[in-house]
A and B are shown apart, each in its own frame.
Chain A
């Protein structure tokens, strides 16, 4: 059983992705199939028969998550013309907006912590 576990986990992930794609298409949902699959998986994880194999596969897959971005990243070579024309501006937009997003997220969480130490910790209970 043990050596089969990660493989069974991959099978589960693909089953939930397929179910997600099917639901997303059938009902015209605004979510992509894998997102619906993620929500379905979350519910299914309460069952131990799903949990053990999915844990083994998901930890491996997510541990190498950055590899999965390499093929699309290499696609940058097909947009060199666009980057030649607008590259600096695009980079500036990406850097500034990413910093803004990180800063706002981190400060909301930091601010929340200070407030809970002070007056209202109703949100915690």
Chain B
């Protein structure tokens, strides 16, 4: 059926394809996630990425062709980072009351995540550009790409590492918190959400938001703080190294 082939070639090269595929797959993955009672392993980002990447490879659609459509969704990450000012503003009273401890936790947690990634990557003998691209992986993807650029990493790699980092937090956070005996009272949800936002940014925050609204708010706060701290401190730290 040459007509079908021709039609597919036409459709798959149009920006409409990447945009439609991304939204449709994500909506299905999200529905399945809800149906599976939001089990961590059913994470909608994980399955959307897996299904889309496999589909594109099998259909031999190059990534740039896909991205020409998906970029319209990607673009919204900028306004979304700006929008993080809103949950921060809503929690400004809590922020003012506990800013010392939260700031300490944000600096300690963020520095641990980044420094341990660089140290381990170096110890494992990974190439230099991979090591540098791993440094900002706990920061939300669009900002991680900017920081990678500033410190000599590869922005596209950092974006992928950031997504993987988010998934590790979203998928395993619950078990780690149980191991650390973090309770599920008000303070416990604050610690859980703030930790997820600090070390696994938007994807961890999305997970926290689904589990508990307070955890979600503190995760948003944490990822906003990481964005500010990391974009200020990380280029400085790497200039000194």
A30, A55, A86, A123 pick with most chain B CB within 10 angstroms: A30
Main secondary structure of the interface of B (DSSP, over half): helix
Cross-chain contact A38 with B85 (CB below 8 angstroms): yes
How many of chain A's residues have a CB under 8 angstroms from any CB in B? 70
CB-defined contacts of B86 to chain A, threshold 8 Å:
41, 45, 54-55, 58-59, 62
A77 within 8 A of B: yes
**B52 lies within 8 A of A70 (CB):** yes
The 6 closest A-B pairs by CB, nearest first: A101-B113, A105-B109, A101-B199, A41-B85, A71-B70, A97-B117
Residues of A within 8 A of B180 (CB): 103, 106-107, 110
Query: Within residues 70 to 125 of chain B, which ones have a CB less than 8 A from any CB in chain A?
Result: 70-71, 73-74, 76-89, 97-98, 100-102, 104-106, 108-110, 112-114, 116-117, 120-121, 124-125
Specify the chain B residue showing the minimal Cβ separation from A68: B77
A75 adjacent to B159 (CB under 8 Å): yes
Name A's B-contacting residues (CB within 8 A).
10, 13-14, 16-17, 20, 30-35, 37-42, 45, 54-55, 57-59, 61-63, 65-79, 82, 86, 89-110, 112-113, 123-124
Alpha-carbon distance between A69 and B55 when the two chains are bound, in angstroms = 18
A40 to B82, CA, bound (A): 9
Q: What A residues does B169 contact at CB under 8 A?
A: 98, 102
Interface residues of B (CB under 8 A from A): 18, 22-23, 25-26, 44-45, 48-49, 52-53, 56-57, 63, 66-67, 70-71, 73-74, 76-89, 97-98, 100-102, 104-106, 108-110, 112-114, 116-117, 120-121, 124-127, 130, 134, 137-138, 141-143, 145-147, 150, 156-157, 159-166, 168-169, 172-173, 176-177, 180, 182, 187, 190-192, 194-196, 198-200, 202-203, 205-206, 209, 220, 222, 224, 227-228, 231-232, 235-236
* Selected A-B contacts with CB under 8 Å, 5 pairs: A30-B236, A32-B143, A39-B228, A92-B120, A101-B112
Nearest CB on B from A57, distance (A):
7
Q: How close is B147's CB to chain A, nearest CB, in angstroms?
A: 8
A99 touching B172 in the complex, CB below 8 Å, given contacts A37-B82, A38-B84, A69-B163: yes
Indicate if the CB atoms of A86 and B130 lie closer than 8 Å: yes
